[in-house]
Amino acid sequence: MPEICRFYGLTIYMFFNDHLPPHFKVKFAEFEANIKILDGSILTGNLPKNKLKLVQAWAEIHTFELITMWDSKSFHSIKPLQ
């Protein structure tokens, strides 16, 4: 499970052969969630609301890069939210 970003205590991963819809996994403390790339909504799991908003802002900035990564399976690090 490649780690693609880390910021504000959040760690973001993407699996190589995961199920649709395109999504990524976020871990924060004891929380885990799968986040849909296209709309930033929670697919499964949960996160504190303030952390979810940070993840959604980051995902909105990097939507094209995330979709390209999902489609190509060519994973790399993405700049964190600052």
pLDDT, tens only, 5-39:
999 999 999 987 778 899 999 999 999 999 999 99
Which domain does 55 fall in, by range?
3-72
Q: Could you tell me if residue 82 is inside a domain?
A: no
Q: Is residue 80 part of a domain?
A: no
Could you tell me if residue 81 is inside a domain?
Answer: no
DSSP letter at 43 equals E
Q: How many domains does the chain have?
A: 1
pLDDT for position 19: 84
Residue 77 lies in a domain: no
Residue 65 tokens read as 């890069």
d(CA 46, CA 48): 7
Q: In the predicted model, is pLDDT for residue 1 greater than 80?
A: no
**Sign of the four-CA dihedral 30, 9, 35, 55:** positive
Which pLDDT does position 63 carry in this prediction?
Answer: 97
Predicted local confidence at residue 82, as pLDDT: 85
Encode pLDDT of 43-74 as tens digits.
Answer: 999 999 999 999 999 999 999 999 999 999 88
Residue 23 lies in a domain: yes
Q: Is residue 58 part of a domain?
A: yes
